[in-house]
Amino acid sequence: MARVALVVDDSMLIRHSVCRFLEERGFAVESATNGQEALELLQTVLPDVIITDIQMPKMDGHELISELKKMPATASIPIVVIAGKRTSTDPQMDTRANFVIYKDIEIESQLAKALMSALGEGVPTD
């Protein structure tokens, strides 16, 4: 059975790129454009990993992570945050995430490393 990933990002380009990357590696992928949509999806789908942006309309990534950590069914799902760009004092950081990757740096290689770490197994990178 394929692993399931939930991708949450209001940027269609980032969402599409991350979904394609995951699908090419055998994941079944669900996507949402904000935290509210993600919570609705989580009523019917329980993913193996959640990849979320921080800055989104309606419900941002910080609020989504707070909701995920409150619910027993989702509290232990690994979370990868996609942040805008790396800065030394990054207010976007969420320490409850398992991994943070950056949109301005080789997103696919970062994502491969994050998945390998979060899911504890090799994820093909080619």
Q: For the structural domain made of 4-119, what CATH number should be given?
A: 3.40.50.2300
The pLDDT of residue 54: 85
Residue 13 has pLDDT above 80, yes or no: yes
Contact 51, 30 (CB under 8 A): no
The pLDDT of residue 93: 53
Q: Compute the residue count for the chain.
A: 126
More confident residue, 116 or 123: 116
Spell out the domain ranges in the chain.
4-119
Report the side by side order of strands in the sheet with 4-8: 28-32, 4-8, 49-53, 79-83, 99-102
pLDDT per residue as tens digits for the range 23-79: 998 999 999 999 999 999 999 999 999 999 888 889 888 899 999 999 999 999 999
